[in-house]
Structure 1
């Protein structure tokens, strides 16, 4: 019986975001399951949409013995603190060192983690793991579609296998795919050759959606390109908000021969580069989006849904900016709802005031985003919640959620979901838990970029994308880059990055 060590450590880092990921953020999870260690991993990683859960299910079906270390994940934000990184990495590495005989290791990683002291968080984790297990033991990793894949990650892992959907409804499926690939490696000690290429332009996250053109067609062709000769092929559009040399899209393959793998990578890269101009689209200002939504809603039978993409807590935002709320109020929108605004102080005040109270608040706007500020107004407290519920939609996949003390506040014809913890609004339950029925609203504003589509497209008349002030610009060329690799274009068909002459070269370790 093969004996496989498993673990998970996930964070998507926006180096331009206002708030860093502390150890406490990983303990809570922030939309991910809370941190678990040892055999408790098996209690949580069951029947949910997480890579490690999919791997465990497939491994058990294959009859493997599993040795758990830790699962830890936190909501996207700025750098992972050195304290958090080292404490979690230590559990993984010491767990492997004390595990006894092992036949392989599987890790569920994100691929876009930047720590305070390491640019390439995953490359460093994989290096440390390889140092413990040696060069011969198979090491397989699942990655997020937004991974900024680095040469070190490719070098240290025997296989990197990325999600193929955005919204990420296939996280568990990717864990299962990693288990199947590991089974090939374990069969007679089979070995696959690697090929890897980074692509020459950043892709805005709003246009990475795999249910739309061009990503949909690219991933369909990617699936057709896999074969017995190339059992695993991946395309990561990347997370375009990490200021280091290896930020950006990449393709990578594993083949029976180097020629097989390289041919697959070359063909896929050529396909993607041929669609460069298609990775862009219309973004509305807050007032434009709200006015259009109000006009469309007159004849609509279902809600008009607006993505507040630049304050997406799934991309590093603090989920507290007020630009879209101001636009709703300013344009006298009715039958509208917006969420989730993260503001523990306002949520606490609502609970202290009780249902039915009128409450003057300075709501949101506390993360210091340029062009944003708290929204000062009088609200009515409509409903209170302890913030605990299940999110059954296809993205969260039945996860237990804990948003902390929460409230539904009303101002005029607009309802606002206010929480004490952050998670992007990607499930209809994130309105319902405070008494808002999303299907009965004319306009819904979701602090999300794409993940909300998985549960909201079926109830939407039309989807719009708006750019109010936030930590994750819809246009990556607007970010103050300083450390990208020279020559990469800052957006599709955009200007090429040139490194400042005064900036020193940085190694993987920055501290």
Structure 2
């Protein structure tokens, strides 16, 4: 770096939008993590294994000056309301320091709002309008982003997570800062090759520690061994956003070599398309899944109810599995969001009798309310910090929480939707996963960062819901065709961009 101290801005708007989920996501959904200014940014993120923590550490290590703008995030949910999106965009763009030498923008990649099917692309367009085409921008993205051509063109670098479950957002943010500073100093000339594979892949097929996705990631890592390759991003996509660019994409960034970037991206796309059938997922209907779990004598079974995946925008109150667990003969655990039922539990008090219909209040897709009777065993304010590998140190909030014991079925009732990303999800209410024969998780794969050492068997459940692994449940209107699995032959789309 030169002797002049560089100023690196950071901020972002983070939301994974499920356009099939019920309801609109309003601005209030972002208020739980609406962080602006240096003091608030450092207090919230310094020392955490988050993207924001990675930027803080990397900027400090390089001797640069950090300039935090607005960072706002909401739990995955339905379409973002137009007014909320507009306010987020305006406040974020205005918050970026006009004197910054470059920007790291932390986004998900699958944010959709009314009027903005590609909100990340719209955000980049507005940044370019304010700061110009020559302003260095590095964008970090979730592995479940839907990368549009505009995103690939308008960001100098797109740096995606390499892991699912996601445990490397800190490291990828460090990478983004390093690349950004090299560009600021004029050491590199990034060229990006973008390929959309023409395939919709479900999250259950994107596990990066095993199977074909692991092979695909390893192929990407091997390409990075060439010093001319600055970054390789493999993005599995988010099939629950019904937008034109939903699906698996690759972005390869090289130092001034468009032919090399295109060859690398084409190699990865060819590998993925050629083995597309390896992305298929096996699952069982709820009744068969529960019977298989109970028949597994060794116990410690995970029933992954991916159709109600909180991390994918689902409401967390689906009852297709819950309804079949009432009276279960072996110890079972499930988490259900129901703010109204929480009030009843608090009224009953610890040790009190609980009798109420719970869940099933988000529409027909997620089932009907289920009558349960039990005893209130614990009440909790819902605050805890992540202690596992995912975003270690991050503050989590379930809202008011109650533990209801209904015979051998234990129900954790939460006021807020919270994904099972961390063991604190269970441990914070005084429960031990090892005490249960089966645990239902409202998740596709990310539950592994909370229960990775627990299961001896995993069963994926095929129930209705806005995050179902069975994509035939959905009526798409905006995805570009042909696209796999709805069409037999994917149609890949290629672009090359220079900064």
User: Which TM-score bucket, shorter chain as reference?
Assistant: over 0.9
2:91 and 2:80 mapped to 1: Cα distance? Answer: 16
TM-score by length of 2: 0.94
Instruction: Tell me which of 331, 344, 365 is aligned to 1:370.
Output: 365
2:366 and 2:51 mapped to 1: Cα distance? Answer: 38
Partner residue of 1:17?
21
- The 5 A counterparts of 1:58-77 are 58-77=58-77
Does 2:25 correspond to 1:27?
Answer: no
2:229 and 2:427 mapped to 1: Cα distance? Answer: 45
Q: Deviations over 1:377-399 (max 9, x none)?
A: 22221111111112211124222
SS of 1:231's partner is: strand
2:274 and 2:485 mapped to 1: Cα distance? Answer: 17
2:80 and 2:376 mapped to 1: Cα distance? Answer: 36
Query: How many residue pairs are counted as aligned between the two chains?
Result: 484
Q: Which runs of 4+ in 1 moved over 6 A?
A: none
Does 2:406 correspond to 1:411?
Answer: yes
Partner residue of 1:239?
238
SS of 2:350's partner is: coil
Contact 1:322 1:364 in 2 (8 A): yes
Q: CA deviation at 1:494?
A: 5.3
SS of 2:229's partner is: coil
Partner residue of 2:103?
105
Does 2:333 correspond to 1:334?
Answer: no
2:402 and 2:366 mapped to 1: Cα distance? Answer: 26
Partner residue of 1:119?
117
Partner residue of 1:483?
478
Q: Which runs of 5+ in 1 are unaligned?
A: 29-33, 498-511
Q: CA deviation at 1:189?
A: 5.1
Instruction: Tell me which of 321, 325, 328 is aligned to 1:324.
Output: 321
- The 5 A counterparts of 1:218-229 are 218-226=216-224, 227-229=226-228
Q: CA deviation at 1:336?
A: 0.9
1:452 and 1:74 mapped to 2: Cα distance? Answer: 19
Q: CA deviation at 1:57?
A: 1.1
2:473 and 2:314 mapped to 1: Cα distance? Answer: 16
Partner residue of 2:276?
276
Contact 1:393 1:455 in 2 (8 A): yes
SS of 1:464's partner is: strand
- The 5 A counterparts of 1:187-202 are 187-188=185-186, 190-202=188-200
Does 2:262 correspond to 1:262?
Answer: yes
SS of 1:392's partner is: coil
2:190 and 2:391 mapped to 1: Cα distance? Answer: 33
Instruction: Tell me which of 306, 310, 313 is aligned to 2:310.
Output: 313
Q: Deviations over 1:288-344 (max 9, x none)?
A: 111111111x234xx1111111001111100001111112226x23211112x1111
- The 5 A counterparts of 1:347-366 are 347-366=342-361
SS of 1:75's partner is: coil
Partner residue of 1:428?
423
2:474 and 2:482 mapped to 1: Cα distance? Answer: 16
SS of 2:252's partner is: strand
Contact 2:360 2:366 in 1 (8 A): no
Contact 1:361 1:379 in 2 (8 A): no
Partner residue of 1:138?
136
Contact 2:198 2:490 in 1 (8 A): no
Instruction: Tell me which of 214, 217, 231 is aligned to 1:216.
Output: 214
Q: CA deviation at 1:371?
A: 6.0
Q: Which runs of 5+ in 2 are unaligned?
A: 492-499
Contact 1:37 1:70 in 2 (8 A): yes
Contact 2:332 2:436 in 1 (8 A): yes
SS of 1:217's partner is: helix
Contact 1:369 1:469 in 2 (8 A): no
SS of 1:277's partner is: helix
Partner residue of 1:248?
247
Cα distance change on mapping 1:12 and 1:336 into 2, 3 Å: same
Partner residue of 2:287?
287
1:464 and 1:494 mapped to 2: Cα distance? Answer: 27
Q: CA deviation at 1:412?
A: 1.8
Contact 1:231 1:254 in 2 (8 A): yes
Q: CA deviation at 1:427?
A: 2.0
2:357 and 2:281 mapped to 1: Cα distance? Answer: 34
1:100 and 1:473 mapped to 2: Cα distance? Answer: 44
Does 2:446 correspond to 1:448?
Answer: no
Contact 2:143 2:161 in 1 (8 A): yes
Q: Deviations over 1:144-165 (max 9, x none)?
A: 1011000111111101110011
Q: CA deviation at 1:354?
A: 0.2
Instruction: Tell me which of 169, 174, 177 is aligned to 1:176.
Output: 174
SS of 1:7's partner is: strand
